[in-house]
Amino acid sequence: MATIAPEASAWVAASGAPPIELDALSHDYGARQALRHLSFTVDAREIFGLLGPNGSGKTTLFRILSTLMLPSGGHARIAGFDVGASPQQVRARIGVVFQARSIDLKLTVAENLMHAGHLYGLSGKPLRRRIDEVLDRVLLRDRAKDFVETLSGGMQRRVELAKGLIHSPAVLLLDEPSTGLDPGARRDLWQYLRTLRDEDGVAVLVTTHLMEEAEHCDRLAILNAGELVALGTPGMLKSSIGGDIVALETRGPAEAQALRTRLRQRFGAEGTVLGSSVRVEHAQGHRFVTSAVEAFPGVIEGLSVQKPSLEDVFIQRTGHRFWQERGPEAEPDALTREQEAHEGFKEAL
Ligand code: ADP
């Protein structure tokens, strides 16, 4: 197994290249296009979210960035190094936290980190010092000698994080980091990520299918079926929708289609039919609702007026809901593929 020399994140920042850069990145699995011409950059001191429903291409992109898979087209660069052409240089600069557990339950926290450090060519005093540092970061220094199996799920995830940071990476990649964590542990995790961003200048990329998690990110790329459908801060994306989101509930999909047509004819309002409801963006939602109910008595069975959410951004850009009828269980083998990915990464080191 080859080891790679660690590099300080300061060195990477000095190179001037963005921590992460995608340039018309594409990936196909046979005839299936999983990623289509993605181009964006992630800056230092930024928590960047990759938000998309299942099947949108998050795992594929995560695997490409963590050097486990070559893209079919375009380029992905970490601190200026192409993931395909210079994988060793890339691996020295990224910390990866997979969804599946990668730490050994039968070892202590410190032993796990010791092994991780050895993989990156660290040893002796510098490694011991670094272990103390990363455990301080995740507030687990007092648990260094404890067996991992005795820690809570949230603490184990923090050990994963410490492991991903052992070689002082400039870029931290986390796949669905909140999975399996209770609300308190989630909050703590996000606090650690912000500390890494603010105090260590790390660029953090998080994949997620959770809107609430995406809200915590500084910027987001929203993916749908492998395409970038929105890019910006959560606030900016939401305010790109003019005004309120009005949902008018009817008896069924056919009635919703009919109402959509009538709303256009009567008010010039462009609605989107989602199941049995019609969704309309309107600058003055409450006024519009009153007019619509008066104009079409007996047609509207229920209604809501809300401020735009990230899901509304998704609907506006794609014309459908974030979760389609098939739901999250549509990709049953996702975790298995994730487990394989983690094994592959260990091998690659
Ligand atoms: P996400 O992580 O957002 O759920 P994925 O990257 O896993 O998305 O998948 C993107 C698309 O590529 C999906 O249509 C998925 O079925 C397909 N896909 C993913 N991995 C493979 C694979 N190993 N072989 C064939 N198709 C795949």
Please indicate, yes or no, if residue 166 is contained in any of the structural domains: yes
Please write the tens of the pLDDT for every residue from 189-227: 899 899 999 999 999 999 999 898 999 999 999 999 999
The CA–CA distances, whole Å, from 298 to 249, 255, 273 equal 11, 11, 18
Give the integer Cα–Cα distance in Å for 170 and 81. Answer: 13
Whether residue 141 sits in one domain with residue 283: no
Amino acid 240 reads: S
pLDDT band of 10, cuts 50, 70, 90: very low
Whether residue 254 sits in one domain with residue 225: no
CB-ligand 1 contact for 58 (6 Å cutoff): yes
Please write the tens of the pLDDT for every residue from 238-258: 999 878 999 999 999 999 999
CB-ligand 1 contact for 318 (6 Å cutoff): no
Q: How many CA atoms lie within 13 A of 344 on its CB side?
A: 15
Q: What is the pLDDT of residue 327?
A: 42
Whether residue 179 sits in one domain with residue 46: yes
Whether residue 302 sits in one domain with residue 256: yes
- Give the Å distance between the CA of 60 and the centre of ligand 1: 6
Whether residue 133 sits in one domain with residue 108: yes
Work out which ligand 1 atom sits closest to the CA atom of 334.
Answer: 7
CB-ligand 1 contact for 28 (6 Å cutoff): no
Nearest residue (by CA) to ligand 1, atom 12, is 34
Domain boundary at 220, 237, 254, which? 237
Give the integer Cα–Cα distance in Å for 5 and 19. Answer: 18
Sign of the C-alpha dihedral, residues 116, 120, 122, 128? negative
Give the integer Cα–Cα distance in Å for 47 and 331. Answer: 26
Domain tally for the chain? 2
| Geometric angle at alpha carbon 229, from 226 and 233, rounded to 5° | 125
- Give the Å distance between the CA of 322 and the centre of ligand 1: 17
Mean pLDDT of 50-56: 94
Whether residue 167 sits in one domain with residue 52: yes
Domain boundary at 192, 213, 237, which? 237
Query: The domain containing residue 282 runs over which residues?
Result: 243-307
Whether residue 248 sits in one domain with residue 228: no
Residues 6+ apart with CB under 8 A from 110: 131, 135, 144, 145
E strands of 132-275, at which residues?
A: 171-175, 203-208, 219-224, 227-232, 244-249, 271-274
Please write the tens of the pLDDT for every residue from 170-194: 999 999 988 878 888 888 889 989 9
Give the integer Cα–Cα distance in Å for 160 and 165. Answer: 9
Mutation choice for ligand 1 from 60, 205, 209, 336, CB with most ligand atoms inside 8 A:
60
Chain CA centroid to CA 309, Å: 17
Sign of the C-alpha dihedral, residues 314, 237, 16, 344? negative
Reduce the DSSP state of residue 285 to 3 states and report it. Answer: helix
59 near 338, Cβ under 8 Å?
yes
Work out which ligand 1 atom sits closest to the CA atom of 63.
Answer: 6
Whether residue 218 sits in one domain with residue 134: yes
- Give the Å distance between the CA of 311 and the centre of ligand 1: 22
- Give the Å distance between the CA of 256 and the centre of ligand 1: 33
200 near 9, Cβ under 8 Å?
yes
- Give the Å distance between the CA of 84 and the centre of ligand 1: 20
Whether residue 145 sits in one domain with residue 24: yes
| Domain CATH for 303 | 3.30.70
Whether residue 298 sits in one domain with residue 202: no
Domain boundary at 209, 237, 265, which? 237
| Domain CATH for 113 | 3.40.50.300
Please indicate, yes or no, if residue 61 is contained in any of the structural domains: yes
Mean pLDDT of the chain: 88
What is the value of pTM for the model shown?
Answer: 0.84
pLDDT band of 334, cuts 50, 70, 90: very low
Whether residue 296 sits in one domain with residue 162: no
263 near 281, Cβ under 8 Å?
no
Whether residue 186 sits in one domain with residue 108: yes
Please indicate, yes or no, if residue 23 is contained in any of the structural domains: yes
Please indicate, yes or no, if residue 263 is contained in any of the structural domains: yes
Please indicate, yes or no, if residue 140 is contained in any of the structural domains: yes
